[in-house]
Amino acid sequence: MVNETQHTCGASSSSKSDGGSSSGSESSKDSSRCSTPVLDADRHERLREKMRRRQDSGDKWFSLEFFPPRTANAAVNLISRFDRMGAGGPLFIDVTWHPAGDPGSDKETSSMIIANTAVNYCGLETILHMTCCNQTRDDITRHLQKAKRLGLKNIMALRGDPVGEEWEEEVDGFNYAVDLVKHIRNEFDDYFDICVAGYPTGHPEAESYEEDLKYLKEKVFAGADFIITQLFFRSETFFKFMKDCQAIGITCPIIPGIFPIQGYHSLRQLVKLSKLEVPQEIKDVIEPIKDNDAAIRNYGVELAVSMCRELLDSGMVHGLHFYTLNREVATTEVLKRLGIWKEDPRRPLPWAVSAHPKRRVEDVRPIFWASRPKSYIYRTQEWDDFPNGRWGNSSSPAFGELKDYYLFYLKSKSPREELLKMWGEELTCEESVFEVFTSYITGEPNKNGYKVTCMPWNDDPLATETNLLKEQLEKVNRRGILTINSQPNINGKPSTDPIVGWGPSGGYVFQKAYLEFFTSSEIVTALLKVLKKYELRVNYHIVNVKGQNITNAPDLQPNAVTWGIFPGREIIQPTVVDPVSFLSWKDEAFALWIEQWAKLYEEESPSRMIIQYIHDNYYLVNLVDNDFPLENCLWQVVDDTFELLN
Amino acid sequence: MVNETQHTCGASSSSKSDGGSSSGSESSKDSSRCSTPVLDADRHERLREKMRRRQDSGDKWFSLEFFPPRTANAAVNLISRFDRMGAGGPLFIDVTWHPAGDPGSDKETSSMIIANTAVNYCGLETILHMTCCNQTRDDITRHLQKAKRLGLKNIMALRGDPVGEEWEEEVDGFNYAVDLVKHIRNEFDDYFDICVAGYPTGHPEAESYEEDLKYLKEKVFAGADFIITQLFFRSETFFKFMKDCQAIGITCPIIPGIFPIQGYHSLRQLVKLSKLEVPQEIKDVIEPIKDNDAAIRNYGVELAVSMCRELLDSGMVHGLHFYTLNREVATTEVLKRLGIWKEDPRRPLPWAVSAHPKRRVEDVRPIFWASRPKSYIYRTQEWDDFPNGRWGNSSSPAFGELKDYYLFYLKSKSPREELLKMWGEELTCEESVFEVFTSYITGEPNKNGYKVTCMPWNDDPLATETNLLKEQLEKVNRRGILTINSQPNINGKPSTDPIVGWGPSGGYVFQKAYLEFFTSSEIVTALLKVLKKYELRVNYHIVNVKGQNITNAPDLQPNAVTWGIFPGREIIQPTVVDPVSFLSWKDEAFALWIEQWAKLYEEESPSRMIIQYIHDNYYLVNLVDNDFPLENCLWQVVDDTFELLN
């Protein structure tokens, strides 16, 4: 909203009832016999209901505002920021609308696509801003339809900036935010939750503060569900605004917009655009330290924390909205000091749940994409429904092909130069590849002194859970069992366990040990001999890039490898080893050797040929130890294999 | 087949390929993403495939033939016999067709309804005999359509007895079994598995043994899948027959029909009807002991065992078909001595699976009907599909009303006089009801010296599993917590455990402790106070006949209380406590007080009024202890309740 400098001041009037108190959730209606158990109430609620529930329970919340980036690389970075800041537990994020940036297009930097990515790939409840000024009714309807299709459920309705100095109302056009609110309610009924902007000191273009409040009331009565305010510098400003709103009958939630001062330049620019006045006491502090960025940020954090405390302590405020300016440090710091950043938010499932309404019942996924959830979401985006409660026969729904490895939300966060430092400027033999895998596992720098913090199959450092297996993993990778996915067995740990826990409290979680790796045909030959001894205990699937497929699974049934038992609920089995989808995963896993690694090197170069050789000749193996109450036997299987080879 | 005295000898000819080798199972095609995990291969196979699989694995099997009874009471007894003999693990049973007994009607004694009950309520693979003689094409088609609709999948195609002495072929009529085989294949394609009769010594009406073999070949080539033979007295008779069949190109399975001699009279009658000759050496033994039933039966068992051993040892025979004459002892004895009666057949699920094709994916049921599975099947017979893999929201499918407590397969096996002896000729107070419950639990005789072997909610003695809880159950029943269902908690016992195990081997089974009982409002008041202490651990539902419903379950989600983890499979959760279906069960459970107990007494009698009082005023309570890895706390809950009352 900071980037929307001039917001609407509604002029037309409406007596429609306050949308904020309307109900009729679309979420609770369409349950069927085959529906998923409700693991997390959040997943079945609309934003306005979540807000009300948090308010009722006295549980303070926060939200985060971002603007779309200018370049594709910046978009990749913003998406990782979504993931990191999403971990703190925002109630929602919002993405501003940039009329100049083709905001409704399919560009990776458009408002629409950034919001789409936040919802679908990062699992964040998201509000998409939309302005109506200088747009046709058809354009707006088209944008809204597209937003709905993409799974967006919330719109911030704004006027936007008129083009040109002398702005005049268009007859029958969208001149004010209230027109957009009405249009959304007319065309889309109650589908969207609608947010509107409030101006604690009045809109700069409004005739008066009182006039502006009337316009706000019109927006709310036209069907808006809640209000987010423009930034302000003193808590009293907000308290007065809130009381004035209530006095004229505005009863919906009003969320204060918080702007932690992050730098001298950004503050000046903001002030210019928003026509707000910075209080003298703030100017007095800032002017002398204007060249010291760190000092200004520290001051900004202090200021924001103390104002937020006043707001929260008043009992009138239940949530805080942060203008992040797409930056991480200041806002995170404020949230942590306020104690509303959730260091360890309860995971409803072992993997991050997508926020697309179509996927809200999704509660089982194949284990293979554990480190590439965005790729899984991408490849299943055309599915009409999601395995609900059980995976069953996955052969009918086709996995989308993953041809474009350069989809921005699937791209590595690290640039080519960094990857080369991690994975080797020059590879001399297969063993130099083993070393890369080993460095990734150990976290120790490679022989050139660089830490390997990502791999083609995993753009993040090792999961905490995998750390439990570190010692064994290091040993086997060193010898050419190149692991890309694993989990330990778990026999009934509390669902609140900080490392392996998930789901509601009071439950117990379980896992079968899992190990997935690339390895040479020589090792596979020995492994298969060893596996005969474990025939009744270990299930295996061994495939190569040509499609050879060796398995002891008697049929194409999935094997549940993560499940949870909870009070008063059905069993949840969120992760399966599914033989059918493994073949789709296999194509992706092998392709990553080439797309992400081999292509770092010149064609025909020895380094490239080594990766190509591995791609062409290695096998991808997965192993499940079914006897979860006993000690994991997979390490013994691998040890026996090495022994046989010696 | 013994009751079909004169079987067909096919006359028309056909060159259709041998149905025995045709394939195209309907079972494997219609899997969907939401399908159930294959727990038991048996459930997805046609009879002919099961037969082939057992032959391939060298696993000898047996089958049992029954005829429809004459009276409704006899039908009730036959159904219990199905349950008892079904426990020995027959590959199938067959039910003969009685043209004189309105065999296709809805009478409880008709062939059709007896076969229907065997399939749907006893979970037995069943062959329905059908004769074609003296029936119109339309009649036959109607019978077959009805059989299909009821879930019957196998037909034994016979000619049947012509009416009158001088039988003449009808033009275009069904004159021979082969006509029926062709008709079934024409009208129902490959839906039914078809069995035909073979005569080891030739059909009595056939021109010659060789002619008869030719007719048999015609039946097979017209589409029959296998042959069951008429009885014979010497294994050589069968071996010769089998070789002769093979010599003329009959390759389908040929199953020897075994008739253990059970009495002098029945043997004589059989011989008369079947026109078979009893060998002199048998006559020589029997004649001197003809008045000693026990001696004859012992001899018959000896004879059958030794002939069956010869058959099985030959390697030519993989299964044995028994003409039981609806009797249990002799056949069971023979099977046990042969070692093919399975004392403890592996349970694929904790409850008996129905054999109706529509229900073959059924793998979850509410716990409430655990002791009344036939009632559950009856009340859900109109359901189009079955909760597959998960129960989900059960509110959509309506439970059928159980108005007719006199449905023969739901009727108590015990007559009124016996029930009065068990449950009291005269009740004087509520405590005398407590005593009945207590006697049922302890297995000790009541004060009149009678053992209480059934209750209105359970027509069988206490389950082995419940025996684990006997001591506690006795204590609480004595004090007016009248238990009707319970299970202990289980934290990962092997799936092969003889008492609580089920499902494929190599797995682990789990349970949450469950307790369900009727009790007074006084006890409920105290119980509710106690339950506050257990709020996070124990889920409860407390209802009365008027519909009062007290629960701490946060929503209408089912609670899984039995589940199993198996190698290479998804989780199976076959039993749930479902709040929605509990309300349907409640009606049934309360009604049983009146229908089965109160109505034993005169109207207005004190005994009847006591039961009526309990029906009107008591509550039905169920409790689940969610903390399955800890010691069951439900007894503590009950103890605390009694303590509070003191």
Name the B residues in 560-619 with CB < 8 Å from any A CB: 560, 563, 565-571, 573, 576
Flag whether pLDDT at B235 surpasses 80: yes
**DSSP character at residue B365:** E
Are the C-beta atoms of A254 and A245 separated by less than 8 Å?
yes
- Across the strands, what pairs with B542? B550, B621
Residue partners of A508: CB distance under 8 A and separation at least 6: A492, A493, A494, A495, A564, A565, B628, B629
Flag whether pLDDT at B395 surpasses 60: no
| Count of CB atoms situated within 10 Å of the CB of A450 | 15
Flag whether pLDDT at B564 surpasses 70: yes
- CB contacts of B559 in chain A (<8 Å) are 567-570
Name the active-site residue from A4, A49, A65, A362.
A65
* Range picked from A37-41, A289-293, B231-235, B371-375 for highest mean pLDDT: B231-235
How confident is the model over B529-538, as pLDDT tens digits?
Answer: 999 999 889 9
**DSSP character at residue A49:** H
> Which amino acid belongs to residue A128?
L
Instruction: Please give the pLDDT value at position A43.
Output: 58
Q: For residue B611, which of B433, B431, B418 has the smallest C-alpha distance?
A: B433
Contact A570 B568 (CB under 8 A): no
Name the A residues in 350-409 with CB < 8 Å from any B CB: 387-394, 396-397
B-chain residue closest to A30, CA distance: B393
**Residue range(s) occupied by CATH 3.20.20.220 in chain A:** 42-163+171-338
Confirm or reject contact between B204 and chain A (CB < 8 A).
no
Starting at the earlier edge strand, list the strands of the sheet with B619-625.
B482-487, B513-519, B619-625, B538-544, B549-551
Contact B388 A393 (CB under 8 A): no
Among A367, A390, A391, A559, pick the best mutation site for testing chain B contact (most B Cβ within 10 A).
A390
CA distance, residue B387 to nearest chain A CA (Å): 7
Confirm or reject contact between B489 and chain A (CB < 8 A).
no
Contact B392 A35 (CB under 8 A): yes
B-chain residue closest to A538, CA distance: B567
B-chain residue closest to A39, CA distance: B557
- CB contacts of B575 in chain A (<8 Å) are none
Instruction: Please give the pLDDT value at position A473.
Output: 94
Are the C-beta atoms of A34 and B390 separated by less than 8 Å?
yes
The percentage of chain B sitting over the pLDDT mark of 70, rounded to a whole number, equals 88
- CB contacts of B626 in chain A (<8 Å) are 506, 566-568
Name the active-site residue from B65, B362, B435, B588.
B65
Burial class (CB in 10 A: 0-12, 13-18, 19+), B261: buried
Backbone dihedral region for residue B562 (phi beyond 0: left; psi -120 to 50: alpha; all else: beta): beta
**DSSP character at residue B316:** S
Confidence at A345, pLDDT banded by 50, 70, 90: low
The 3-class SS string of A135-153 reads: CCHHHHHHHHHHHHHCCCC
Confidence at A544, pLDDT banded by 50, 70, 90: very high
Compute chain B's Rg from CA coordinates. Answer: 27
- CB contacts of A627 in chain B (<8 Å) are 506
Flag whether pLDDT at A20 surpasses 60: no
- Retrieve residue B431's tokens: 């405590």
pTM of the model: 0.80
CA distance, residue B9 to nearest chain A CA (Å): 43
| C-alpha to C-alpha distance for B293 and A187, rounded to whole angstroms | 88
Instruction: Please give the pLDDT value at position B73.
Output: 83
Provide mean pLDDT across the span B601-623: 96
Confirm or reject contact between B169 and chain A (CB < 8 A).
no
- Retrieve residue A268's tokens: 């000046």
Confidence at A246, pLDDT banded by 50, 70, 90: very high
Q: Kindly report the average pLDDT of chain A as a whole number.
A: 86
Tokens 């009945």 belong to B436
A-chain residue closest to B393, CA distance: A33
Flag whether pLDDT at A536 surpasses 90: no
Contact B576 A560 (CB under 8 A): no
Confidence at A5, pLDDT banded by 50, 70, 90: very low
Name the B residues in 12-51 with CB < 8 Å from any A CB: 31-38
The percentage of chain A sitting over the pLDDT mark of 70, rounded to a whole number, equals 88
DSSP run (H or E) holding A194? strand A193-198
B-chain residue closest to A504, CA distance: B536
Provide mean pLDDT across the span B452-457: 94
| C-alpha to C-alpha distance for A456 and A593, rounded to whole angstroms | 7
CA distance, residue A269 to nearest chain B CA (Å): 51
Residue partners of A66: CB distance under 8 A and separation at least 6: A78, A81, A82, A93, A94, A95, A96, A114, A324, A326
A347-371 b/e (C-beta count within 10 Å ≥ 16 → b): bbbbbbbbbbbebbbbbbbbbbbbb
- Across the strands, what pairs with A565? A508
- Retrieve residue B11's tokens: 């006359």
Q: For residue A113, which of A103, A122, A123 has the smallest C-alpha distance?
A: A103
- Cα separations (Å) of A591 from A112, A559, A585, A597, A637? 30, 25, 10, 9, 27
How confident is the model over A385-429, as pLDDT tens digits?
Answer: 776 556 665 555 677 777 666 666 777 778 899 999 999 999 999
| C-alpha to C-alpha distance for A148 and B240, rounded to whole angstroms | 76
- CB contacts of A628 in chain B (<8 Å) are 508, 565
The 3-class SS string of B459-499 reads: CCCCCHHHHCCHHHHHHHHHCCCEEEEEECCEEEEECCCCC
Contact A393 B31 (CB under 8 A): yes
Q: Answer whether CATH 1.10.357.10 is correct for domain A42-163+171-338.
A: no
| Count of CB atoms situated within 10 Å of the CB of A74 | 15
Compute chain A's Rg from CA coordinates. Answer: 27
Confirm or reject contact between A57 and chain B (CB < 8 A).
no
Active site residue A65: yes
Residue partners of B276: CB distance under 8 A and separation at least 6: B201, B230, B231, B232, B233, B270
Between residues B184 and A499, which one has the greater pLDDT? Answer: B184
Confidence at B377, pLDDT banded by 50, 70, 90: confident
Confirm or reject contact between B495 and chain A (CB < 8 A).
no
- Cα separations (Å) of A347 from A36, A88, A571, B521? 17, 12, 16, 42
Flag whether pLDDT at A15 surpasses 60: no
CA distance, residue A45 to nearest chain B CA (Å): 15
Provide mean pLDDT across the span B62-79: 91
Flag whether pLDDT at B490 surpasses 60: yes
Confidence at A272, pLDDT banded by 50, 70, 90: confident
Residue partners of A119: CB distance under 8 A and separation at least 6: A125, A126, A150, A151, A152, A354, A355, A356
The percentage of chain A sitting over the pLDDT mark of 90, rounded to a whole number, equals 61
CA distance, residue B612 to nearest chain A CA (Å): 33
Flag whether pLDDT at B165 surpasses 80: no
- Cα separations (Å) of B472 from B31, B134, B442, B475? 45, 63, 10, 5
Confirm or reject contact between A489 and chain B (CB < 8 A).
no
Long-range Cβ pairs for the range B474-479 (8 Å, 24+): B474/B438, B474/B441, B474/B442, B476/B517, B476/B635, B476/B638, B477/B434, B477/B437, B477/B438, B477/B441, B478/B434, B478/B435, B478/B438, B479/B434, B479/B642
* Range picked from A96-100, A452-456, B397-401 for highest mean pLDDT: A452-456
Q: For residue A376, which of A625, A129, A88, A574 has the smallest C-alpha distance?
A: A574
Contact A390 B392 (CB under 8 A): no
Confidence at A587, pLDDT banded by 50, 70, 90: very high
